[in-house]
Amino acid sequence: MARLNFKEVVLVVVDVQERFLHALFEPNRLISACKLLIKGSKLLRLPIVVTEQLPDKLGQTIAELREALGEDYKPIVKAEFSAFANETFRKTFASTGRNQILLCGIEAHVCILQTTLDALALGYEVFIAEDAVTSRYEFLWRSGVQSCIEAGAIRVNAESALFELLSTAEHPQFRQVQALVKELAPLIYEKQEQFQSS
């Protein structure tokens, strides 16, 4: 089984946009897990690519993730469900020279699944951060993740992915990543509450 490689992986954040949020299953889990991956990836200086599905209609990436992304918030606008069906995304990803994709975002059974299928067809190794993806309904989330796994993707979670990338407690960023995990893990893995807008 392939393992995440610090020198080969790109984090891809798919369509975590404002107008989707209220319809999603466990949105707080999704947000916190995506934030953990984004902040951890930034500490590790990994490439991050963000997509937005028709933002004129569906809004931008949610503010909390835009803030976490900082200068990495350079969204690729798409109409296609698969990110790899979008020429700009395909060229952007290829330009990294990397061959692993760590996916988070929505929806598991549509954009995540179709992106996975196309990535695998192009020869990339795909890792699905199960806690950092979701869909409108629990069944669709679980079905989408399972379809990705059956197609050849590897199931991970946000915390395990980051520790796999660190590989050792002697990594220079270990304590910073550990602090992020301590901050965000309770928001991901404890009982989920219904999303409340502020």
Fold assignment, 9-189: Rossmann fold (3.40.50)
Please indicate whether residue 15 is annotated as part of the active site. yes
Residue 1 has pLDDT above 80, yes or no: no
Predicted pLDDT of residue 197: 42
pLDDT-derived band at 2 (thresholds 50, 70, 90) equals: confident
Predicted pLDDT of residue 192: 56
> Which amino acid appears at position 35 of this protein?
K
57-67 pLDDT per residue, tens? 999 999 999 99
**Residue ranges of the domains in the chain?**
9-189
Predicted pLDDT of residue 189: 87
Please indicate whether residue 72 is annotated as part of the active site. no
CB 133 within 8 A of CB 16: no
Residue 158 has pLDDT above 50, yes or no: yes
Percent of all residues in the chain with a pLDDT value above 70, rounded to a whole number: 96
Q: Which of 35, 39, 42, 78 is catalytic?
A: 78
In the 3-class helix/strand/coil scheme, how is the chain assigned residue by residue?
CCCCCCCCEEEEEECCEHHHHHHCCCHHHHHHHHHHHHHHHHHCCCCEEEEEECHHHHCCECHHHHHHHHHHCCCEEECCCCHHHCHHHHHHHHHCCCCEEEEEEECHHHHHHHHHHHHHHCCCEEEEEEEEEECCCHHHHHHHHHHHHHHCCEEECHHHHHHHHHCCCCCCCHHHHHHHHHHHHHHHHCCCCCCCCC
Q: Which of 111, 118, 131, 148 is catalytic?
A: 111
Q: Which of 15, 118, 131, 148 is catalytic?
A: 15
Q: What is the mean pLDDT of residues 95-112?
A: 98
Please indicate whether residue 111 is annotated as part of the active site. yes
pTM, to two decimals:
0.94
Query: Under 8 Å CB-to-CB from 7, ≥6 apart: which residues?
Result: 98
**Six-digit token string for 170:** 């002697």
